[in-house]
Structure 1
């Protein structure tokens, strides 16, 4: 779209006989970056389908477990402590395995790594429900989360490579699919479990079917020479080297922004139903309110990235989203029951910091190489930062017996999040700050 090409360097138009003059636009990059051949035109819809199907599978492994956690604990004789640790496993795995994504992508290509990631999610979700003990359950969960981790990091890279002039639109599309998968798994797991006989093992295992559907498009893309050449290291997108991102203020701001918003999202998913139930609402109403919060991300995850790419500075969006969160937490403290639906909507808006963070990752580098490093750094570092948040909220709630202090802490997190968003939203790239050469 015309308004979204501002963030990308313009290249001379391809001549009719030039390599890559057909199909998808050649990947853009910094001056002197080697450009690969363009894939055939039919690859475009297949990449879109692959992105959407992959995004749908980046959260059901997590949100399908929550509604059945008590059944899983009983079936596996899992202690409450281990169950609590289980809720902290996803961000830990995202951080650890996310750091490996750039090296894997340089060696095998991002498409091949995402393909393997979807296969890992399928295998993990298929094995996990039929394990006989907690260690095997955790190992199978880690396998699925490993696939999710590399998908988290490399999705912005695929967008940058195949759709350099539509970063906002395509980021919005797969962010919307991710939000839809998150909400659908949370809402549909229990009804599907009941419809399939009531076994929690079947209720968890059925999500492997959705994951399996995401594998074929990536297999075709990896096997097709024109598509693979455009997204391979030979195409110049994922060259090794580069100055450490530790020197980049923008990279650190993105990592902090990503980490604080991730912590807030896990706090919301883990604790908001309890807040509403403690306010006197029924369990079904509390679950519905959480679904409303999650569903808000579906349309806004498409709108916000497109809006962000039209602005030179994305800081104001980060501030508005943060203010919505502050209003929600204030409302939860003052009138948790009477204004519950409004607070759920405001929390849903605030949680759309996630697609904004993904969009800024794609905009803060000129090259595919920069995006893959920045995505790995911001997401892995951010997920490490997010681990203590949900645990701390639980400790404060248990020690105080109420929600006043935990809600104040949740609101307090939003202040540095907004500051980091303002810094990360400035119109500059990591190459400007680190003098990377890709």
Structure 2
């Protein structure tokens, strides 16, 4: 069956007549793409810086916010569960919004929502208003979370590992900066927690700027697709395959064309998967109707994402309080959280690059989880005595997040597949993570200590190892589903 497809593609390539508009189409878009690519890179970094300060700044001031709003431990646990709840509820909308308005426009709107929510939240008055404003900011974070791997795959198809590393490093930097600086800035601004939380709205407002010129842009090659005559993509496909760097970009363009223009899915799809031996010719064609819930790899990745998110949000929401209850000063507890988050700055750049070079990412998932187990054991036995060591180990463990993002880009072979896998893994994962922070708050309030909550955190590392091994296997959801479809008739 492969041979007839190859002959058909060759015939299409050789019989296509030369087009006079080709020189103009080839000379203008590269300059546009070069300018837009640099702008996208800046936008990715600034957006990533704003994807966690709304959460870690609150963790640093959680005790002050609880006192100011009159929250119980259980309500505070609910508050720390709001981020994954919003990520699950709003993240699933991201692919549909991106198809309608373009990923850049949705991320731009997300940055606006973050800035607005962080501005309103400290002065909303009362717990319901605080939660509503937090939800607005978290909605912007949710859609941006889902679309970052999509934007990386579309704009940098041959640099997924390095760009995911840059994005993850900026995210970790924003996370740790908010954790470390919120308490000192609060003191410098007069000691009110409202000002300490609201100051981060300014950082989000700056992140809106680089996305504004890209609002109407749907990705690299979109200008070419709008201006080039019909069939131009098929003419350039063989030339793109001869050039390694350009081949990846052409494949991403054709996969996107298949997603956005169903009428041309067959032609674009056959060229777009020429680099894949497994499932050739079927991946882009199946991308539009990809039944992601039938993929075992997708489910493994979703559960892995959920378990690492559970640990991350428990850490961001409760770790400063654990240290404060152990006798560590509030400012030092904030710095310890910052150290945990700061570990992601170098490692979030290194881990995706290493993972992208490996056929199986399971060993990395195991190593990170073992660091988490050691850190939680230390937190249980000597929370203040070895505080810095436990903060470092838990910081290493939290780098399962950039690993999960990298695997999202590697476990799908098309732009449409990455969008669906990213939305499914993140939305399902965040749903899985919702009970964790809430349960920690309930256990803390009713047990009167941190023994049971820490035991829960450590216990979650065991299933995280198992699903990390499954999610790290060298396969794509498209080829996995194509193989299952092929054996179904038999």
Q: TM-score, normalised by structure 2?
A: 0.77
- Report the counterpart of residue 273 of structure 2 in structure 1: none
- Report the counterpart of residue 265 of structure 1 in structure 2: 312
- Report the counterpart of residue 257 of structure 2 in structure 1: 236
Q: Name the CA distance, whole Å, in 1 between partners of 2:258 and 2:170.
A: 25
- Report the counterpart of residue 333 of structure 1 in structure 2: 380
Are 2:135 and 1:142 aligned? yes
The CA deviation string for residues 161-211 of structure 1, in whole angstroms up to 9 with x for no partner, is 000110010001011111111111111122222223333333222211111
Gaps of at least 5 residues in structure 2 are 1-12, 14-18, 224-251, 261-286, 486-490
- The secondary structure found in structure 1 opposite 2:158 is coil
Which deviates more, 139-148 or 263-272?
263-272
Structure 1 residue 61 displacement after superposition: 1.3
Structure 1 residue 416 displacement after superposition: 0.8
- Report the counterpart of residue 414 of structure 1 in structure 2: 461
Count of equivalent residues: 411
Q: Is the 8 A contact 1:108 1:232 kept in 2?
A: no
The CA deviation string for residues 13-67 of structure 1, in whole angstroms up to 9 with x for no partner, is xx9948457766xxxxxxxxxxxxx943111211100000000111111122233
The structure 1 residue matched to 2:167, chosen from 159, 174, 179, is: 174
Structure 1 residue 80 displacement after superposition: 5.2
Are 2:139 and 1:118 aligned? no
Which deviates more, 194-203 or 96-105?
194-203
- Report the counterpart of residue 50 of structure 1 in structure 2: 43
Q: TM-score, normalised by structure 1?
A: 0.86
Structure 1 residue 333 displacement after superposition: 3.1
Structure 1 residue 358 displacement after superposition: 0.4
Are 2:247 and 1:254 aligned? no
- Report the counterpart of residue 8 of structure 1 in structure 2: none
Matches within 5 A, 1:134-213: 134-213=127-206
- Report the counterpart of residue 62 of structure 2 in structure 1: 69
The 3 A distance-change label for structure 1 pair 405 and 314 is same
RMSD: 2.8
The CA deviation string for residues 380-424 of structure 1, in whole angstroms up to 9 with x for no partner, is 100010111122233334444444433332222111101111111
Q: Name the CA distance, whole Å, in 1 between partners of 2:71 and 2:452.
A: 30
Which deviates more, 283-292 or 92-101?
283-292
Gaps of at least 5 residues in structure 1 are 1-11, 25-37
Structure 1 residue 75 displacement after superposition: 4.5
Q: Name the CA distance, whole Å, in 1 between partners of 2:395 and 2:218.
A: 42
The structure where helix makes up a greater share of residues is: 2
- Report the counterpart of residue 9 of structure 1 in structure 2: none
**Larger Rg over CA atoms:** 2
Which deviates more, 335-344 or 44-53?
335-344
Q: Is the 8 A contact 1:106 1:233 kept in 2?
A: no
- The secondary structure found in structure 2 opposite 1:214 is helix
- Report the counterpart of residue 313 of structure 1 in structure 2: 360
